[in-house]
């Protein structure tokens, strides 16, 4: 035991960070319980795009475990990684169902976005790219993705339905046929309440609770709890680069990249600051290693069959429990490997239960609107357009594009073009060309 402790001490610097193996274990379990809902939700979302749900379940667990281990040993941060919410919805509902790419081609786009992220991290271009994007647009992208998740969740639960005049309207909430909508709302409220009470694993508990409520009504089916993992073969190495030179495909790749970069930056800064791991200037000591770990996650996840794998803000729960080093992440990874044997439990979760979790995540992400600067109309108006356009056009990429275009034009016509960075103007022209071509 002393030898093992000695290795852990040398690898992670437990004493220097004022922590212990026991504390890191508890922190790892806490982080895992707050983010394990993804193994239940991800197969449902990507399944809508045609991927085999069993294979996606396995890919989700393996991508999370391997990527988190890379973060643990290479960057030594207490951060867990898994397929990102929002990114999976963009993959399924925009790229595959909206743009009519196959899921194999969408996986290729995820892989290429990971390659670009890796190059940005290696050559340290990332800081320039992020700094060039207006602050309000960064927050709007996060909030807009949240709103997009919200309308997907409401539509999946049939709480919001199509209408020939108003486009959307409230779906019927009475009668047995509409019980899933009611259970979804109940699940959402339960998840909100449990998280408000700081119950560890509150999101997971809410999902499982409303799933069990649906069993007597035949809305969910119980097939057991533990089994050997399903086959990964249906999604393993299925990438298709045949349309890689199409303009729309390139836009998709950059959309994956933008969302991942901004989401990752916010997560890294937020979690490490709370853990007291930033230096006196607020900088991240091993930023490059953390970014490389995240870019590896995107590439690796796509190879085995899931949408972009990225750092999880839920890692803050483990930090609050005392996690300070990569050993926390090691325990998170081990728990994800253990989760591989709970496929039947994941298969029991119906769409109305996963949509409840999706709606909760949407609310959390929408907080970005409150952090925007509302003093300059040329700054906040394009950002609001970007956020609103995402759910209403059912496309994150379209929302980002309209945000950049309206920002550039607003600055130009108002005589403030000097405030727009060259990178923003280039992106605006690229998106304008994309919309013109169709």
Tell me which H or E stretch contains 162.
Answer: strand 160-163
Q: Are the C-beta atoms of residues 127 and 288 closer than 8 Å to each other?
A: no
Highest mean pLDDT among 56-60, 392-396, 401-405: 56-60
Exposed e or buried b per residue across 106-117, where buried means at least 16 C-beta atoms within 10 angstroms of its C-beta: bbbbbbbbbebb
- State residue 362's pLDDT score: 80
The yes-or-no verdict on residue 162 having pLDDT over 50 is yes
List all residues 6 or more positions away from 23 whose beta carbon is below 8 Å from its beta carbon: 321, 322, 323, 324
- State residue 274's pLDDT score: 64
- State residue 278's pLDDT score: 63
- Report how far residue 438's alpha carbon sits from residue 288's, in angstroms, rounded to the nearest whole number: 37
Give the tens place of pLDDT for each residue, 133-142. 787 887 787 7
- State residue 2's pLDDT score: 47
Give the tens place of pLDDT for each residue, 275-326. 677 666 556 677 778 888 988 999 999 999 999 998 887 787 777 667 888 8
Distances (CA, A) of 79 to 104, 285, 323: 29, 15, 9
DSSP structure class, residue 376 = -
Count other C-beta atoms under 10 Å from residue 86's C-beta: 27
pTM higher than the cut 0.85: no
- Report how far residue 84's alpha carbon sits from residue 86's, in angstroms, rounded to the nearest whole number: 6
- State residue 357's pLDDT score: 80
- State residue 111's pLDDT score: 96
Q: What is the average pLDDT across 317-339?
A: 86
Q: Are the C-beta atoms of residues 15 and 325 closer than 8 Å to each other?
A: no
DSSP structure class, residue 84 = P
Phi and psi based region of residue 201 (left: phi greater than 0; alpha: psi -120 to 50; beta: remaining): left
The yes-or-no verdict on residue 3 having pLDDT over 70 is no
395 versus 305: the higher-pLDDT residue is: 305
The yes-or-no verdict on residue 221 having pLDDT over 70 is yes
3-state secondary structure of 168: strand
- Report how far residue 108's alpha carbon sits from residue 102's, in angstroms, rounded to the nearest whole number: 10
Give the tens place of pLDDT for each residue, 93-108. 889 988 899 999 999 9
The yes-or-no verdict on residue 72 having pLDDT over 80 is yes
């Amino acid at each position: 035991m002393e030898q093992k402790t000695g290795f852990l001490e040398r690898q992670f610097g437990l004493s220097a960070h004022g922590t212990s193996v026991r504390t890191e274990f508890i922190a790892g379990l806490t982080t895992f319980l707050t983010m394990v809902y993804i193994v239940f939700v991800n197969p449902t979302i990507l399944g809508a795009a045609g991927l085999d749900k069993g294979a996606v379940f396995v890919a989700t667990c393996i991508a999370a475990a391997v990527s988190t281990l890379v973060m643990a040993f290479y960057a030594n941060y207490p951060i867990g990684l898994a397929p990102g919410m929002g990114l999976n919805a963009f993959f399924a509902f925009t790229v595959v169902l909206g743009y009519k790419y196959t899921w194999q081609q969408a996986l290729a786009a995820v892989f290429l976005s990971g390659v670009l992220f890796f190059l940005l991290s290696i050559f340290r271009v990332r800081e320039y790219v992020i700094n060039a994007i207006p602050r309000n647009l960064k927050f709007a992208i996060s909030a807009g993705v949240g709103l997009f998740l919200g309308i997907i969740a409401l539509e999946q639960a049939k709480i919001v339905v199509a209408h020939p005049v108003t486009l959307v309207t409230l779906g019927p909430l009475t009668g047995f046929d509409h019980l899933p909508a009611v259970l979804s709302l109940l699940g959402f409220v339960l998840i909100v309440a449990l998280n408000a009470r700081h119950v560890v694993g509150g999101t997971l508990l809410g999902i499982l609770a409303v799933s069990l409520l649906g069993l007597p009504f035949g809305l969910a089916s119980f097939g057991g709890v533990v089994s050997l993992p399903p086959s990964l073969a249906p999604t393993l190495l299925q990438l298709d680069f045949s349309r890689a030179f199409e303009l729309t495909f390139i836009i998709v790749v950059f959309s994956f990249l933008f969302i991942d970069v901004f989401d990752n930056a916010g997560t890294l800064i937020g979690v490490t600051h709370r853990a007291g791991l930033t230096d006196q200037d607020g900088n991240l000591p091993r930023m490059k290693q953390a970014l490389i770990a995240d870019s590896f996650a995107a590439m690796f996840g796509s190879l085995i069959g899931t949408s972009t794998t990225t750092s999880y803000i839920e890692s803050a729960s483990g930090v609050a429990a005392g996690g300070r080093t990569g050993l926390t992440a090691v325990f998170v990874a081990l728990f994800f490997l253990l989760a591989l044997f709970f496929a039947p439990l994941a298969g029991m979760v119906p769409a109305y239960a996963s949509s409840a979790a999706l709606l909760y995540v949407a609310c959390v992400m929408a907080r970005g609107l409150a952090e925007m600067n509302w003093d300059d109309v040329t700054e906040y108006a394009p950002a609001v357009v970007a956020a609103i356009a995402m759910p209403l056009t059912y496309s994150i990429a379209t929302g980002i594009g309209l945000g950049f275009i309206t920002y550039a034009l607003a600055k130009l016509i108002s005589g403030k073009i000097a405030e727009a960075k060259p990178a923003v103007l280039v992106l605006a022209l690229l998106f304008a060309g994309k919309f013109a071509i169709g």
